[in-house]
Amino acid sequence: MAGDQTNRLNNGGLIDRSTALNFRFDGKTFSGFKGDTLASALVANGVKLVGRSFKYHRPRGILTAGSEEPNALVELRSGARREANTKATTAELYEGLEAASQNRWPSLNFDVMSVNQLFAPIFVAGFYYKTFMWPAKFWEAIYEPAIRRAAGLGRAAQVPDPDHYEKAWAHCDVVIAGSGPAGLAAALAAGRSGARVILCEEDFVLGGRLLADGGTIDGLPAAEWVARAVAELTAMPDVRIMTRTTLFGVYDGGTYGAIERVNDHLPTPPEHQVRQRLWRIVARRCVVAAGSIERPIVFAGNDTPGVMMASAMRSYINRYAATPSRRIALFTNNEDGWRTAETAIAAGLQVAAVIDARPDVSPAHRSLASKGGFPVLHGAVAGVDGGKGGVRKISVSLTGGARAEVEADGLAVSGGWNPAVGLTSYHRGRPKWRDDIAAFVPDGAPPGMVAAGAANGAFGLGAGLREGFEAGAAAARDAGRSGNIGSMPVADDEAFSITPLWHVAGKGKAFVDQQHDVTASDVELAQREGFQSVEHLKRYTTLGMATDQGKTSNVAGLAIMAAVSGKSIPETGTTIYRPPYVPVAIGAFAGHHRDENFHATRLTPSHHWAAEQGAIFVDTGLWKRAQWYPRAGEKDWLESVTREVKTVRSGVGFCDVSTLGKIDVHGPDAGAFLDRVYINAFSSLAVGKARYGLMLREDGIVYDDGTTSRLAEDHYFLTTTTAKAGLVMQHLEFCRQVLFPELDVQLTSVSDQWAQFSIAGPKTRDLLKEIVDPAEDLSNEGFPFMGAREVKLRGGLKARLFRISFSGEMAFEISVPARYGEAMARNLMIAGKPFGVTPYGTEALGVMRIEKGHVAGPELNGTTTAGDLGLGKMMSTKKDFIGRVMAGREALVAPNRQVVVGIKPTDKARRLRSGAHIIPKDETPGPGNDQGYVTSVCFSPVLDQWIGLGLVERGRERIGEVVRAHDPLRGEDYDVELCNSVFYDPDGGRQRG
Amino acid sequence: MADFSWDIRSPLDRALTSGPYGAQGEAGVSLTEIRNFGLVQVMARRGKAGEMAKAAKAQFGVAAPETPKAVDTADATLIWSGPDQFLVLSKGGKHTMESLAPGFAGSASLSDQSHARALISVSGGKACAMLAKLSSIDLHPDVFAVGAAAATSMDHTSVTLWRGKDRADRQSVFNLLVFATFAESLWHTILDSAAEYGATIGHSEELA
Amino acid sequence: MRIVCPFCGERELGEFTYLGDAKPQRPAADAGEEAVYDYVYLRDNVAGVMSEHWYHGGGCRAWLKVTRNTLTHEISAVEPAAGAGAAKVGA
């Protein structure tokens, strides 16, 4: 049913003619076959015009048949799956594929912006920066948006990607990039030796250039040899073949990045499957058999649809049985290009002429020309006559100065081959120039990596097999594998001769970088304007900075640069190579980590119970914490929180505080150890007692706080803030292992072992008596303030009870093993029912700590000292501890430091906001008069007004002073009074009673 | 006096739904939460690694692992968890802080971790492929053989991972101790990773 | 980057946390402010081989001394901190 596939050959190709696939391009329906790419299917349907160029909106066709394609970029799929700038040359055809051309309006055939071509002389390198300079404010508002509309590529989908992506790790002895002759030979040698091998191939079929160029290996046609090699490799349990997978980067320590397009070849991924998978491959050795990329020659009109790389033309004809043109001219400067003439003749196409830039052509090719009845013209293509309909006529300047014209509808171009030196150069490697092949080849590689075959400049088939096989064998040997590698595959070596030719002078635009519309004259202009370094050339002209990263343009660009500056190509050098080798979707890098899986989540032991209660949760670090528990009829959070606070202050409430970091500190020197990490003493703490501790950083600034209890002579139970739990553990391990290794102390995180609840309010004891075994003495004498010990609960369960208070109320914290956490919450509700118990969340917790003047995160902010927090007296003078010396520095003990103080608006109805700056009453707000800011605020149900804590210069000496709270962010300015930071029960009678 | 019940709930009690999950057909992965176990961390005191080893030998009849390995005893598995330390994982909590403390007095510090971890057994033909999405460790049987253990991370979460004896059908078995408060989050990541292979989900009170 | 933990074997970078130069030694309690100031603030900006503190927090929780070339990222040696595990230090 090739019916409408006007440019499909009747026979041949690696396509499945029994599976026709319908697809749409720019709204028009076409058909192709399984095994086609979008590009080959378009070629088969005679479509030559596939896009408009970036800057000049020039008509563009298909230039290549691989991932180096600069022109044939489409928007693939539609709706949320629309993917801009997708290369038609690598997009596999599937039933129902939808694609649209880019950067044209209203249609590809009639593009309004192609008027830009008329202004082409002014769109030179640096044009935007030179032209749209004044007035400056116009840039953001007018120029840039307009330019962005006119110049550009595809449109992003603008809605979340509905597909899933994931990341995975793989490990092997040898990873091989590319499955051409060198890659397959490397895999055979390494696999036979017993090595674990991963073979990555970006195409969906193995074979590399063999798929298009064939040849004879071990006496077999290439296709047959490939099939045998693949069968042998597939049978090896430790060889993994990954098609549709591009090795895109190399990282330290033998780690490689690869992108696997798992389901890009289907309309949507099957259920439970991902679209793409990002691999991190850890390999002892890497063989880069990524082949080489044929390079264009820069001449006027070289971007006309129908001008195509010679090797790409062979790919379309041989691999896809699709003919880009019927009457082909070939422009080459090397032996290899001639293969396209052979291919065209074999396919029954006409060869109009071969234009060869070399002085001599081999006798074999001369006789091919005479048999084929086409002329061989010595010279170069000077111009192309054609347009959006494709090539019509080619003008040739012959060696010696004469002119000739060739009529053809297609022009195959071969300027030689550039080894794919990306992977070998990603660690700042600089490739070296080889005159014999007029190309850069790898000069060393990151540790463990070696290039083989065409990627190493060995262009012949025999040489490629040999280098690949030897590299594979050596890599396996280096990885300690010594199995029998069998015999090396053998093929003839073709001759390769080249006469470098980069740029043919002529009239009209000659493109170096077709994706970014950079011309030869842009490169020359940049040089004239003083951009001497290729790095500057690149950034000024944007040469090589498009999505193809200049795979077809970089070397030509620097060669032209070298020519105009009178330097050699190696003197001019290359730009730095950086990964990724092909564009990789951000979604693949994110993998599973998006939306609710953006990061891991921690749940408290009573989480599901709290959810049942209708708790509103807040993200604090990785935790989900109950923020408040709304009840029916409450109109907003403030009403719920106020009710929770009032219930605690008048009755009893409880809160899950399991998020605090908890660390078992064991060992004979546990007390001595804590003495060194806290500013206050712990060795003197009695067994059965708890103490509040403050930790400094070595620079004297407060690090963390929390209570630590002594449960046995050699066992302390230390708590940290929720935010710093992991960091404090790391810090304490540093102290134990690095700073004080002589101390016999052991640290274990028990954060997840214990469900811990704070129970607070005047009726706390009443509630506890219901839960705790009646034999336990909870009286003030039997369990005084700051007591800590194990108790038995009703039913026999053991718990730890701590008489500590963060709310200023009579309070205990109770710990049970975490799997009892939910039962504890339920039982507290049952036991507390007669006393009107309420669960409370982090908001009420915050309100009560502010009312009580306790410092927390906003005050422990990495700039405050113990003195700033009003805790300076805790600092022991009898022992050394971390931060002691630096805490005594002049600036840290200066009398004018900003210290914690209470703040309340003079107008009781006013809402206080954190972040407001404190300015003396009669001064003008400004940096010179800024005396601090409000750190924490809440509505205090006890005082029936908004209150807060702040860090204010000499705050504690200024109690009673009225100052300005200046809040330019919210446009507010009001008077506040500095007051004692302990708003509630300042003598502490309630918590001790 | 109010009537209390002290129901115990595993960290995956709510998240785990027994039965098939993901792709249909023969399940590539089996996921089983083991709910009834005891776990005690044993850490040698300074200069007492030798004494701790002797005490472990006396207690369990086998040497405790000194390198990243998991060693089975008659009624427990001893899992390396760091230098000079190991975990005692026991069926139904047979070895408790109380029962172990006398033997290790003076040579090691003990911490109860029975409630601090969830224990997940991962097995099946696709167990390795699934774990490759979570773990940066090479789990090839030549590298990570039966009895190999690792203190490592999955999804930025610390885990203890070891390879158990192969199943009767010769499929691989991996055991995973996960911090309890992270368990539900990691469980969902595990399900996402297993979905394409099809999974059988269940729970068991006992260690296999 | 991969670091060979002396206890766990070779692991990927994500399991480790970097602290910094391992050369400065915490001064004795009576060393005075200047010595502590140097310890806290003065660092060599090494272009080449450097001894660094790394924490294997995503693994065995050992602190490590890693010898690393800051130009090439080549790691030439990894050793445990003096007090890692139950190592006995001093008398």
Fold of the B23-35+115-204 domain: Gyrase A; domain 2 (3.30.1360)
Q: Which segment of A48-62, A302-316, B4-18 scores lowest on mean pLDDT?
A: A48-62
Average pLDDT over residues A223-238: 98
Fold of the B37-112 domain: Alpha-Beta Plaits (3.30.70)
Q: Which helix (H) or strand (E) holds A370?
A: helix A363-372
pLDDT band, very low/low/confident/very high, at A146 (cuts 50, 70, 90): low
Average pLDDT over residues A261-284: 97
Q: Is 90 exceeded by the pLDDT of residue B2?
A: no
For residues A127 and A833, which has the higher predicted lDDT (pLDDT)?
A833
Average pLDDT over residues A186-207: 98
Share of chain A above pLDDT 90, in %: 90
**Are A741 and C17 within 8 A, CB to CB?**
no
- Quick one: tokens of B5? 């019940």
Share of chain A above pLDDT 70, in %: 96
* CB-nearest partner of C26 from A282, A736, A739: A739
Residues from chain C contacting residue A883 (CB–CB below 8 Å): none
Domain annotation for chain C: domains and CATH numbers = 2-21+34-80 (3.30.2270.10)
Residues from chain C contacting residue A698 (CB–CB below 8 Å): 26, 36, 39-40
Average pLDDT over residues B45-69: 97
Check: CB of residue A450 under 8 Å from CB of residue A475.
yes
Check: CB of residue A486 under 8 Å from CB of residue A472.
no
Residues from chain C contacting residue A251 (CB–CB below 8 Å): 1
Position A150 scores a pLDDT of 60
Residues from chain A contacting residue C62 (CB–CB below 8 Å): 737
A273-292 residues touching B, CB cutoff 8 A: 273-274, 280, 282
Residues from chain B contacting residue C55 (CB–CB below 8 Å): none
Q: Is 90 exceeded by the pLDDT of residue A387?
A: no
Position A1 scores a pLDDT of 40
Check: CB of residue A397 under 8 Å from CB of residue A297.
no
Three-state DSSP class for residue A301: coil
**Any CB–CB contact under 8 A between C38 and chain A?**
no
Q: Is 80 exceeded by the pLDDT of residue A627?
A: yes
Place of tokens 């052991």: A746
Position A9 scores a pLDDT of 96
Spans of chain C below 50 pLDDT: none
What ipTM, to 2 d.p.? 0.99
Position A143 scores a pLDDT of 67
**Any CB–CB contact under 8 A between C74 and chain B?**
no
**Any CB–CB contact under 8 A between B4 and chain A?**
yes
**Are C87 and B46 within 8 A, CB to CB?**
yes
Q: Å from B149 to nearest chain C CA?
A: 9
Average pLDDT over residues A682-686: 98
Residues from chain B contacting residue C57 (CB–CB below 8 Å): 158
From B44, which residue of chain C is nearest by alpha-carbon distance?
C86
Residues from chain A contacting residue C37 (CB–CB below 8 Å): 886
pLDDT digits (tens, 9 = 90+) for A575-598: 999 999 999 999 999 999 999 999
Q: Å from C37 to nearest chain B CA?
A: 31
**Any CB–CB contact under 8 A between C91 and chain B?**
no
Average pLDDT over residues A390-416: 96
pLDDT band, very low/low/confident/very high, at A625 (cuts 50, 70, 90): very high
**Are C82 and A738 within 8 A, CB to CB?**
yes
From C57, which residue of chain A is nearest by alpha-carbon distance?
A730
**Are A252 and C55 within 8 A, CB to CB?**
no
Average pLDDT over residues A290-312: 97
Q: Å from A673 to nearest chain B CA?
A: 14
**Are C1 and A254 within 8 A, CB to CB?**
no
**Are B185 and A601 within 8 A, CB to CB?**
yes
Cα angle A42, A47, A49 (rounded to 5 degrees) comes to 115
**Any CB–CB contact under 8 A between C59 and chain B?**
yes
Q: Å from B4 to nearest chain C CA?
A: 40
Domain ranges of chain B: 23-35+115-204, 37-112
> How far, in Å, CA of C5 to CA of C83, rounded?
15
pLDDT digits (tens, 9 = 90+) for A164-192: 999 999 999 999 999 999 999 999 999 99
Q: Is 50 exceeded by the pLDDT of residue A2?
A: no
Which residues have a Cβ under 8 Å from the Cβ of A940 and sit 6 or more positions away?
Answer: A847, A850, A851, A946, A947, A983, A984
Position A667 scores a pLDDT of 98
Q: Sign of the CA dihedral A720, A726, A732, A736?
A: positive
pLDDT band, very low/low/confident/very high, at A440 (cuts 50, 70, 90): very high
**Any CB–CB contact under 8 A between C12 and chain B?**
yes
**Are B136 and C86 within 8 A, CB to CB?**
no
Which residues have a Cβ under 8 Å from the Cβ of A49 and sit 6 or more positions away?
Answer: A59, A60, A61, A108, A109, A305, A388, A389, A390
Return the partners of chain B (3 or more C-beta pairs < 8 Å): A, C
For the whole model, what pTM was predicted? 0.94
Position B27 scores a pLDDT of 94
Q: Å from C50 to nearest chain A CA?
A: 17
Position A113 scores a pLDDT of 72
Residue-wise DSSP of A169-181 = EEEEEEEEE--SH
The residues with which A624 forms a beta bridge, in sequence order, are A603, A619
Residues from chain C contacting residue B153 (CB–CB below 8 Å): 14-15, 58-59
A650-679 residues touching B, CB cutoff 8 A: 658, 664, 666-668
Neighbouring CB atoms inside 10 A of A760's CB total 29
The residues with which A518 forms a beta bridge, in sequence order, are A513
Position B33 scores a pLDDT of 98
For residues B40 and A987, which has the higher predicted lDDT (pLDDT)?
B40
**Share in percent of chain B as helix, strand, coil (round to 5):** 20, 35, 45
Neighbouring CB atoms inside 10 A of A13's CB total 21
From C17, which residue of chain A is nearest by alpha-carbon distance?
A730
Average pLDDT over residues A937-954: 97
**Any CB–CB contact under 8 A between C34 and chain A?**
no
Disruptive mutation site among A594, A753, A767 for chain B (greatest number of B CBs within 10 Å): A753
**Any CB–CB contact under 8 A between A120 and chain B?**
no
**Are B158 and C7 within 8 A, CB to CB?**
no
C13-42 residues touching B, CB cutoff 8 A: 14-15
**Any CB–CB contact under 8 A between C11 and chain A?**
no
**Are B43 and C9 within 8 A, CB to CB?**
no
Return the partners of chain C (3 or more C-beta pairs < 8 Å): A, B
Domain annotation for chain A: domains and CATH numbers = 165-292+420-478 (3.50.50.60), 296-415 (3.50.50.60), 501-565 (1.10.10), 602-658+754-849 (3.30.1360.120), 661-749 (3.30.70.1400), 895-992 (2.40.30.110)
In Å, what is the CA distance from A942 to each residue of A20, A199, A643, A652?
Answer: 78, 71, 11, 15
Question: Would you give the DSSP letter of residue A636?
Answer: S
Residues from chain A contacting residue B111 (CB–CB below 8 Å): 664, 666, 748, 750, 753
Three-state DSSP class for residue A732: helix
**Any CB–CB contact under 8 A between C85 and chain B?**
yes
Return the partners of chain A (3 or more C-beta pairs < 8 Å): B, C
> How far, in Å, CA of A317 to CA of A940, rounded?
81
> How far, in Å, CA of A806 to CA of A780, rounded?
18
* CB-nearest partner of B189 from A597, A666, A668: A597
pLDDT digits (tens, 9 = 90+) for B47-58: 999 999 999 999
Q: What is the β-pairing status of strands A255-260 and A245-251?
A: antiparallel
The residues with which A790 forms a beta bridge, in sequence order, are A800
Q: Is 60 exceeded by the pLDDT of residue B1?
A: no
B23-82 residues touching A, CB cutoff 8 A: 23, 41, 43, 45-47
* CB-nearest partner of C15 from B52, B82, B153: B153
